[in-house]
Amino acid sequence: MTGALDDLRVVDASTLFAGPMTAMHLGDLGAEVVKVEHPRRPDPSRGHGPEKDGHNLWWKTLGRNKRTVQVDLSTPDGAQVFRRLCATADVVIENFRPDTLERWGLGYDALSEDNLGLVLARVTGFGQVGPYRRRPGFGTLAEAMSGFAASTGEPDGPPILPPFGLADGIASLATAFAVMSALHRREATGLGQVVDVAIVEPIMALLGPQITRWDQLRTVQARHGNRSVNNAPRNIYRTADDHWVAVSTSSQSIAERLMGLVGRPELVDEPWFASGRTRAEHADELDDAVGGWIGRHDRDEVLAAFERAEAAVAPVYTAEDIAADPQFEALGTVRRVADPDLGEIAVHGGLFRLGDGDAPTRWTGRAPGADTDEVLAELGYDPAEVAALHASGVVAGPRTEQA
């Protein structure tokens, strides 16, 4: 299989992290992705997170299925290279501050002159309009301003930020959805368009009715730790052998079965037990019942008992647990891919499975500019022109024998 999107060419001119993740998702489905980086300042994600033997592990997965070129877009010759590349593309993803591409003569008006069907996805912290449009925008700021941090944490503690790029990841999914929507529209009109994604908006949209609640009730959701205001018991509980498990009772029938399992069936007859919202008002009592029972049993005993009772529980996993779990093995969640620097490495296999087959992970994240000369040749540059671009510093990357 080559993948559902193997007829698409995507130019990824973005960095850190929502834009590159969008391109990664599209590449996972078979799209040809060309990653464009600055000759002297490649994507900073290459320097984030752990390394092994000098090779960045975050880039190995974030850069998978991407060819890499290095071009200085701020120079006239580099801008011309970029225009020729975009003329061959279906999608361009960028996250420069608003007006930057326009300053280089690479705004949508210019790019679409060469390619009427081009979809330009612009991913920034606060979007292309408004008073904050030119502010630096990172996922951390989106997590703060979206309402996420304010509603996350213990009741008597500070707001909590996630330990990873949550807002960026959510924005990458929203951007991929927006790109595919624009491409679908192109089928009817023959024309591309600009997709404007503000990283702060997708995470805000997933936080439930907070805006409507404020509009109608003038209240905001307080911090409740691992509890929920919508149902109980819902929490993280420690087992007798010092593991942690998560319990959810979103379904009324599961909540009732759970009370029988932990030896408190009489609670089901309480009037307040009849709905998730009213159960949440008695979370202390329910947590004592469930947490007390779980605390007297080892994790394997807890998981087995919950399965027999058809109650909802999950162990709190680390990456080590994920790699060993038979369910993830069955799904193909983790793939092992050959890497030229580290041998065979494990990467995530993608977000979902399609019935007619999944695209393979063709390669892991490549070195900066690994494909510069090859892509320039595809765009019609002859070896002398390629050599001149290298000599001037407009492009960079390992030189091919032909060049």
Please identify every residue annotated as catalytic. Answer: 168
3-state secondary structure of 191: coil
- As a whole number of angstroms, the distance between CA 155 and CA 137 comes to 28
Please enumerate, as own/partner, the contacts of 261-268 that have beta carbons within 8 Å and a separation of 24 or more: 261/293, 261/305, 261/306, 261/309, 261/311, 262/289, 262/290, 262/292, 262/293, 262/294, 263/289, 263/293, 264/289
Tokens of 366: 């490549």
Distances (CA, A) of 240 to 234, 244, 289, 297: 19, 9, 15, 5
Contacts of 296 (CB under 8 A, 6+ apart): 240
**CA-based nearest residue to 175, from 192, 193, 195:** 195
Residue among 167, 169, 13 nearest 95 (CA):
13
Which structure tokens are listed for 317?
Answer: 């996993």
Nearest residue to 310 (alpha-carbon basis) of 272, 256, 351 = 256
Classified as helix, coil or strand, 395 is: strand
The backbone torsions φ and ψ at residue 386, rounded to the nearest 5 degrees and listed phi first, read -60, -45
Which is nearest to 322 in space by CA: 305, 294, 347?
Answer: 347
